[in-house]
Structure 1
Amino acid sequence: MTELLLTLVSTALINNLVLHWPLGVDPLLASEERRQVHALGLATTSLMLVTGMFGYGLYQWLLVPLALTSLKLFVFVPLSVLLIGPLLKLLSRLLPQLSFDGLWPLLLGNAGVLGLTLLNARDDHGFFHASAMSLGAGLGFWLVLGLFCDLRQRTFDNDVPLPFRGLPIQLISAGLIAVAFLGFNGLIKT
């Protein structure tokens, strides 16, 4: 149980998919509205959890016994794409106060989901470890998304020099958040 908790915290803070592995940066830069940020974070966390669990199961219990491990990309990409629509419908029914409209392209283009399933397939530590890693990756994405939205709002309110307005200040902000997350490196000793 302790190992699963450490995996969850480590994936969310130390080995964050957006900051440590630059996966899933595109939705980070595309989300504008505060409500949309939390809807995107919740949808991405749910998609990462479901895709990570199903992807691990399909890889370990179907592709490995049949010696078809080289086809993992041909299984993981359609799996994540096919789960987006039903997941968004389910979330919109469960949480009608959040707007999940227009999130389909952001979830489709999120490389973090595919990267997570590939990391789970590469490191075989068991189903529960893969589930904890998937949940931690989603929560870490949601955390960085919320922090980045707050930081972006602060830069809009301040006087930013003309050459740095727009994308340059957003990339500098993402770099500063990544540097701040480097402080968590010594948190968990292996």
Structure 2
Amino acid sequence: MTDILLTLISTALINNFILHWPLGVDPLVQSTRTPTIERRQVHALGIATTCLMLLSGLLGYAAYHWLLIPLGLASLHLFVFLPLSVLLITPVLNLLERALPQLPFSGLWPLLLGNAGVLGLSLFGMQGDKGFGDHTALSLGAGLGFWLVLSLFSDLRQRTLNNDVPLPFRGLPIDLISAGLIAVAFLGFSGLIKT
């Protein structure tokens, strides 16, 4: 149980998919520049990505370890993981639209389709078989870490919009500098868990 909790915390904070490995960075640079609309979109994208990572990670783990390996077809893992993550987007968004109608889930399909973190999670799950519980914690931690970084980056972006940023740094340059500063701040968590 302790290992599962440590995996969850480690994936969300230390080995974050956006900051440690640059997977799923595209939603960071997507912005509406309107604080109230962006905050709702960030939370909708965070919830949708967390649910998609959890479902595709668990189904990818099950397909790889319980179907492809026993059949001797482990080399075909990409032909299973990629369609699985793409086919899960629409049902996840439809379920979330019904469950949380106050959040804008309708325009998130392209951002979820281009999120390399979802596919990367399935690829990480096939590397070492620590068990289904550990992979569940990995999937949930990756989604929650993605949501955390997305929320922090959105708040930091709003602060830079309200301040006097020099002209050459406005827009994407200050966004990339901000992402780098968040990554440096998350390096402070690296001593939190000793293996």
TM-score by length of 1: 0.99
- Alignment match, 1:103: 108
8 A Cα contact 1:80 1:113, kept in partner: yes
- Alignment match, 2:14: 14
Give the aligned CA root-mean-square deviation in angstroms.
0.6
8 A Cα contact 1:52 1:117, kept in partner: yes
Write out aligned runs for 1:24-35 (5 A): 24-32=24-32, 33-35=38-40
TM-score by length of 2: 0.96
Q: Does 1:69 align with 2:77?
A: no
Q: Kindly provide the amino acid, as one letter, of the partner of residue 18 in structure 1.
A: I
Give how far 1:66 is off. Answer: 1.0
Of the structure 1 ranges 119-128 and 24-33, higher mean CA displacement relative to structure 2 is found in 24-33
Q: Kindly provide the amino acid, as one letter, of the partner of residue 73 in structure 2.
A: L
Give how far 1:130 is off. Answer: 0.5
Find the residue that maps to 1:65 and give its secondary structure. helix
Q: Distance in 1 between matches of 2:57 and 2:193?
A: 23
Q: Does 1:183 align with 2:188?
A: yes
Q: Distance in 2 between matches of 1:105 and 1:169?
A: 24
Find the residue that maps to 2:70 and give its secondary structure. coil
- Alignment match, 2:179: 174
Between the two proteins, the alignment pairs up a number of residues equal to 190
8 A Cα contact 1:14 1:182, kept in partner: yes
Find the residue that maps to 2:126 and give its secondary structure. helix
- Alignment match, 1:112: 117
Q: Kindly provide the amino acid, as one letter, of the partner of residue 178 in structure 1.
A: A
Q: Distance in 1 between matches of 2:117 and 2:19?
A: 11
Q: Does 1:80 align with 2:115?
A: no
Q: Distance in 2 between matches of 1:19 and 1:31?
A: 18
Give how far 1:67 is off. Answer: 1.2
Give how far 1:29 is off. Answer: 1.2
8 A Cα contact 1:31 1:37, kept in partner: no
Q: Which runs of 5+ in 1 are unaligned?
A: none
Q: Kindly provide the amino acid, as one letter, of the partner of residue 38 in structure 1.
A: H
Q: Distance in 2 between matches of 1:51 and 1:61?
A: 15
Q: Does 1:155 align with 2:148?
A: no
Of 43, 49, 55, which aligns to 1:44?
Answer: 49
Give how far 1:31 is off. Answer: 4.0
Give how far 1:59 is off. Answer: 0.2
Of the structure 1 ranges 177-186 and 31-40, higher mean CA displacement relative to structure 2 is found in 31-40
Q: Does 1:139 align with 2:144?
A: yes
Q: Distance in 2 between matches of 1:134 and 1:149?
A: 23
Q: Distance in 1 between matches of 2:103 and 2:44?
A: 6
Q: Calculate percent identity across the aligned residue pairs.
A: 75
1:80-108 CA deviation, whole Å, 9 max, x = no partner? 00000000000000111111011000000
- Alignment match, 1:57: 62
Q: Distance in 2 between matches of 1:154 and 1:140?
A: 21
